[in-house]
Amino acid sequence: MPFPILTALSQAQCTHAAKASFIATSSKVLVDNGPVVLSGDQVPIAGCPFTVPTGKPQPCVKGVLSQPAVKVMVEGKPAMLQGPADMGQSAEQIPGGPLIYSSVQMKVTAT
């Protein structure tokens, strides 16, 4: 099943409504005017308010992308796709829930 290729212009948030930013390291390939996000690129999350029931803050600090393209490579790395298992994650690598996408380019999809 094909999924949209993520770009630096993609918009998502963690389950707790904190904004995720897609930082693309390559500017050589643009999709719908946005640099393509590649395997290994960072997805920082800022301002997550999540706290575990014991009162310990456990905010999502990064997004973990789960769906690299099999057939689309940019500069020798797979392009990243909007994946159903993309998650927010705390600094202690505890999953915080799925990323919620609000805007993703739909012109180019891949598997």
Residue ranges per structural domain of the chain: 3-103
Would you say residue 1 has pLDDT above 90? no
pLDDT at position 5 is 98
19 burial (CB, 10 Å; 0-12 / 13-18 / 19+) is: middle
CB distance 34 to 105 below 8 Å: yes
The CATH fold of domain 3-103: Tumour Suppressor Smad4 (2.60.200)
The pLDDT, as a whole number, for residue 12 is 98
Cα 105 to Cα 46, 75, 101, 110: the distances in Å are 22, 21, 11, 12
Q: Tell me the per-residue pLDDT of 59-96, one tens digit each, with 9 for 90 and over.
A: 999 999 999 999 999 999 999 999 999 999 999 999 99
Judging by beta carbons within 10 Å of its beta carbon (0-12, 13-18, 19+), is residue 37 exposed, middle or buried? buried
Give pLDDT, residue 101. 98
Q: Looking at the chain, which runs of residues are DSSP E strands?
A: 3-4, 11-13, 19-20, 30-31, 34-35, 45-46, 60-64, 67-74, 77-81, 87-90, 95-98, 100-103, 109-110
How do residues 7-66 score in pLDDT, each as one tens digit? 999 999 999 999 999 999 998 999 999 999 999 999 999 999 999 899 999 999 999 999
pTM as predicted: 0.94
